[in-house]
Amino acid sequence: MVNEGKLKEFRRLFVDKHNNTEIFSNFEKLQNSRTWLHRHKIIHKIYKRILYGLIQRRFRYLTAPIRVLPDFVIIGCQKCATTSLYDYLVQHPNIAAATQKEIHYFDSNYNIGINWYKSFFPTVFSKNSMKCAKQKFVTGEASPMYIFNPIVPKRMSKILPNVKLIAILRNPIDRAYSHYSMQVKNGYEKLSFEEAINFEEKRIAGEREKEEKDENYVSINLRDYSYLSRGLYADQLKIWMNYFPKNQFLVLRTEDLENNPKHTMNQIFEFLEVPTYEIHALKKMNVGKYSVMNTSTRKMLIDYFKMPNEQLNKLLNKNFDWDN
């Protein structure tokens, strides 16, 4: 942009003294033309990126019949380190990444069709080349909304009956507060945390029923304001286990991934039947910064989640140790 201060100084020292308005006019035009050219270059770069992306997406869609379906899916949960987990996984030489982590085919994009879904994954040639080298080939995606949507397991079981399902779960109190803080940061939440959890039931009332009646309906309120509801993990997993056997699930704690990432990743590699591999880039992704929760609110939520957490422990025969 034109520097107004420099223009005023130039006018004072040169134009006003020498009355050379023509030179000043040419100088101003030059500055404006440079600004326009700079903006034009930026627009051109954006245009090229969009065009390249469209061409690439079109190519991948046309080649969908020769692309593979995922071997694993990280089904959730939101704000439980799914982005970090997926980033660690695809560093393994035997695990190929999808073109994007969150595809949301089985919830938001199901009506687009299976070829659209397949277009995000590698080709069968990539898989076969690994097989020829006597190497295991695995690919997958991570859409953390899946676990919370009861329509998804029914849809997924029809297309991916043998898929391996990974769920990473966080202390539901911390998950809820992180979810709330993200909504505040993004400008979607104006209430205090205490007000938001008190109004949650009213905000999401009837939304699940709408989704069940119309499979193309996507509830914004359920996505944005289900702070406590998403932490009722046992209820969600029970629905999934009506469609998939327990041996196709690996359920992890976010706290274990943070505190002992090497052991946790080796658990996953064993589950996916790929060789043990040391992940070196263990950077935490999408880490939020927010104020400390009120002590009285936390105590109330400890009581609220006590029974649901016990149900989860019983369902999976595992102690998640979230009593504080």
Q: pTM of the predicted model, to two decimals? A: 0.82
Mind listing the domains of the chain with CATH numbers? 4-60 (no CATH), 68-316 (3.40.50.300)
Tell me, what's the pLDDT at 244?
98
Q: What confidence tier does 45 reach under pLDDT thresholds 50, 70, 90?
A: low
Choose between 291 and 75: higher pLDDT. Answer: 75
Distance from C-alpha of 70 to C-alpha of 139, rounded to nearest angstrom: 5
Tell me, what's the pLDDT at 11?
47
* Contact in structure between 78 and 145 (CB atoms under 8 Å): yes
Q: What is the pLDDT of residues 203-249, one digit of tens each?
A: 999 999 998 888 888 899 999 999 999 999 999 999 999 999 999 99
Tell me, what's the pLDDT at 149?
95
Write the DSSP string, 81-126: SHHHHHHHHTTSTTEEEPSSS---TTTTSGGG-HHHHHTTS-BHHH
Nearest-Å Rg of the Cα atoms of the chain is: 26
Closest listed residue to residue 81, CA positions, set 148, 150, 181, 171: 171
Distances (CA, A) of 166 to 72, 189, 199, 317: 7, 30, 31, 17
Q: What confidence tier does 5 reach under pLDDT thresholds 50, 70, 90?
A: low
Q: What confidence tier does 51 reach under pLDDT thresholds 50, 70, 90?
A: low
Most confident listed range (21-30, 51-60, 158-167, 285-294) = 158-167
Quickly count helices (H) and strands (E) in the chain.
Answer: 15, 5
Please give the average per-residue pLDDT across 270-291, as a whole number.
Answer: 85
Mean pLDDT of the chain: 87
Please give the average per-residue pLDDT across 124-145, as a whole number.
Answer: 92
pLDDT surpasses 90 at 8: no
Q: What is the pLDDT of residues 153-190, one digit of tens each?
A: 999 999 999 999 999 999 999 999 999 999 999 999 99
As a whole-number percent, the residues of the chain with pLDDT over 70 amount to 83
